[in-house]
Structure 1
Amino acid sequence: MQSLAPIALFVYNRPDHTRRTISYLQKNLLAEDSRLFIFSDGAKTEADQIKVNEVRALIKQTDGFKTVKILESAGNQGLANAIISGVSQLVEEYGKVIVFEDDLLSSPFTLRYFNDALQRYANQEKVMHIGAYMYPLAEKSLPQTFFYRAATSWGWATWSRAWKNFNPDINDLISQFSKPQIKAFSIDGTMNFWKQMKEFKSGKNNSWAIRWYASVFLAGGLTLNPSKSLIHNIGHDGSGVHSNKEDIYQVHVARQVVQSFPLELAENEEAYQAIKHFLRNRKGNLLQRVKRFITKKLS
């Protein structure tokens, strides 16, 4: 049997989200053969401490995996630093890692998809990232999985050989982009990835994910993705870091095993166009946008 990748789960102060994330992970086909590492960040404020304690009491009861190891941080690292150090630690020891945050509900076949893909592309330098979330795409003729340029952060996996390319230095990253690359990086201007880069530089966000995508992009890397999402994010209720209250990205999680993987190491043009179409139209027409804006304000 293949050696399964360790699972890193990053938790903070959301006991209900954490409980649901773990319960869905426990129902995964390979859960009982997988090592789970739960990284619990320390409280930022006294008000957060109560919830952090609740989460810590909850994770201590976790079972259903080959092993469960809990790593509690005394101080508050913040999500970005916690993920960067946790991922670095596990890829150094195991050569690969599967990464979850505390607001991701998985399909029973998500761990199988990750492990099969990690094994299949282990020695393909160009494949740098495996994502499990996919937008609700309208295109029905896409293959089960495909390569794409952007790295999604809602459930993902990578290898130590790829993570070596991670560059946390935003100034160094930004300096390497040409105008055409900026356009390509932002999916022809349909997604605010470049804005996220500039906002990180100016201290308006603390995203590890945008720097990881930039690192993959500049290295000419590819990301593997499913055409039907294997993850549903429940964090868009205003409770998380960088999370707004919205329903644009809601999906029905795929209920079947992923059996088909691309042979050609190149971005799938049909998938790229389908994603671009979704991103361009995701906020709807003017009336739908106004309605969403009013709903957000009232809530």
Structure 2
Amino acid sequence: MSGATPALVIVGYDRPDALAGLLTALRAGTYPDGVPLVISLDLSGDPRPGEVADAFEWPRGPKRVIRHPQRLGLRNHILSCGDLSEEYGAVIVLEDDLLAAPHLYAYVERAIDRFGADNRIAGISLYHYRINEFNNMDFEPIDDGSDVYFMQVAASWGQAWTASQWRLFRQWYARYGRDPIRVTDGVPRQLEAWRDNSWKRFYMKYLAMTGRYFVYPRASLTTNRARPGTNTKRAVSIYQTAMDVGARDWRLPALDQSLARYDIFYEPEPDTLRALQPALADADFDVDLYGVKPAAALTRPDLLSSRPARRGRLRFGLVSDAPAVASIIAGVPGSFFTLAPRDHFSAMSLGRRWALARATQVGRPGNAMMFQMLKPVQTEILIRKLARARRQAAIGE
């Protein structure tokens, strides 16, 4: 691990009870000697988070409380916490609305040892996704026998960075951090709807532009507590997940050995499907199993998609109560997924989106699937609302 002792960096603002709960959970964990704890508090006008931080006893190593004298906002606050990696060699950043598993530190140490020298790994997630955050459909990574998978999706509910990983992002951010994020960048349209105080939307664009990944655990080391906060004004429980509470000998394959690699859309990479489905071995295609990728994200001559296609080189059926990718890997006969030239496809229909949701969302009630159907409408409303706000702000300047 290059001699670094990753610091635990806790991000706080105005939730003293949540901060106290996270700190208590961390103190119950397992650590080597000398682990630094940094509690970084943005200016909120509420003295209670500072009181909690000052009173908390950390027996594992030095404790440091940072009180920012001016309001940073969430994006700049996280950026300042990432910058601490230069001082400590690596940081584990946890926002105060999380709970932490007892053995998270051992996982981070192992992951840094395994991936710290790979320039393609841009961060380490402690959180495991159960749903695709862009369409709220179930997400289940391909099981290749390892304990991790790789995605071009930045983690915000518990993440670790080495100094070198963070430095590369900061260099990119200095050049592109002022540019607007648009679907023409080849990223999900939902990123246009995320608020300007989101650091994660920029990190995800960075991953997509540079071909880098976060490494994710299949067993989550954190969970979201569904507390209202800066970006969410009400409790949202869909991102809560079970945590891994036992110690384990983590099986961490190199990126090139993994059969569970995903792009920014939570879609499996073509190389993964070529390795798992021999019929695709010689095809040059993009993957669009959800049927929503924008044109800017489609660069190869062929497409494997759930969108309607008038002709196809290969077709696959749709398996009920299983991830969409299971149909491709198993070579299920049918006509729901098609491999064909890109110009043979039409737009994804509402009927096909509903059929995909019904088949792949195991045990979901009808109201949850209806919410998934309305997600694109919600996204467009948010984008227009933010565009109006930005125009008004520009006029006022």
Selected match of 2:162 from 142, 155, 159 = 159
Identity of aligned pairs, percent?
Answer: 22
Please report how far the alpha carbon of residue 58 of structure 1 lies from its aligned counterpart in structure 2 after TM superposition: 0.8
1:144 corresponds to 2:147: yes
**Aligned residue in 2 for 1:247:** 237
Q: Deviations over 1:39-91 (max 9, x none)?
A: 11112xxxxx2xx3111111101223301000101221112111112221x12
Q: How has the CA–CA distance of structure 1 residues 153 and 228 changed in structure 2, closer, same or farther, with 3 Å as cutoff?
A: same
Please report how far the alpha carbon of residue 257 of structure 1 lies from its aligned counterpart in structure 2 after TM superposition: 2.5
TM-score (norm 1): 0.77
Q: Which has the higher contact order (CA 8 A, sep 6+)?
A: 1
**Aligned residue in 2 for 1:131:** 125
Query: Helix, strand or coil: the match of 2:55?
Result: coil
Selected match of 1:75 from 41, 47, 70 = 70
Q: Deviations over 1:176-209 (max 9, x none)?
A: x8x5x62xx44xxxxxxx422x235xxx431011
For 2:89 and 2:4, how far apart are their aligned partners in 1?
Answer: 11
Query: Helix, strand or coil: the match of 1:124?
Result: coil
Moved more, 66-75 or 79-88: 79-88
Q: How has the CA–CA distance of structure 1 residues 257 and 173 changed in structure 2, closer, same or farther, with 3 Å as cutoff?
A: farther
For 1:40 and 1:129, how far apart are their aligned partners in 2?
Answer: 23
Q: How has the CA–CA distance of structure 1 residues 138 and 265 changed in structure 2, closer, same or farther, with 3 Å as cutoff?
A: closer
For 1:147 and 1:115, how far apart are their aligned partners in 2?
Answer: 17
Query: Helix, strand or coil: the match of 1:259?
Result: coil
Structure 2, gaps ≥5 residues long: 131-138, 268-322, 325-355, 373-397
**Aligned residue in 2 for 1:109:** 103
**Aligned residue in 1 for 2:36:** 35
Q: Deviations over 1:202-239 (max 9, x none)?
A: xx4310111112212222112111111110111x23x2
1:12 corresponds to 2:13: yes
1:206-245 to 2 correspondences below 5 Å? 206-234=197-225, 236-237=226-227, 239-243=228-232, 244-245=234-235
Alignment check: 8 A CA contact 1:165 1:219 kept: no
Larger Rg: 2
For 1:217 and 1:207, how far apart are their aligned partners in 2?
Answer: 17
Please report how far the alpha carbon of residue 262 of structure 1 lies from its aligned counterpart in structure 2 after TM superposition: 3.1
Q: RMSD value over aligned CA atoms?
A: 3.2
Q: Deviations over 1:262-287 (max 9, x none)?
A: 333149554649x6559966794543
Alignment check: 8 A CA contact 1:173 1:215 kept: no
For 1:131 and 1:240, how far apart are their aligned partners in 2?
Answer: 21
Query: Helix, strand or coil: the match of 1:162?
Result: helix
Alignment check: 8 A CA contact 1:98 1:155 kept: yes
Alignment check: 8 A CA contact 1:222 1:267 kept: no
Q: How has the CA–CA distance of structure 1 residues 39 and 31 changed in structure 2, closer, same or farther, with 3 Å as cutoff?
A: farther
For 2:32 and 2:193, how far apart are their aligned partners in 1?
Answer: 37
For 1:138 and 1:116, how far apart are their aligned partners in 2?
Answer: 23
Q: How has the CA–CA distance of structure 1 residues 139 and 223 changed in structure 2, closer, same or farther, with 3 Å as cutoff?
A: closer
Please report how far the alpha carbon of residue 35 of structure 1 lies from its aligned counterpart in structure 2 after TM superposition: 0.1
Selected match of 2:190 from 195, 217, 228 = 195
Please report how far the alpha carbon of residue 104 of structure 1 lies from its aligned counterpart in structure 2 after TM superposition: 1.1
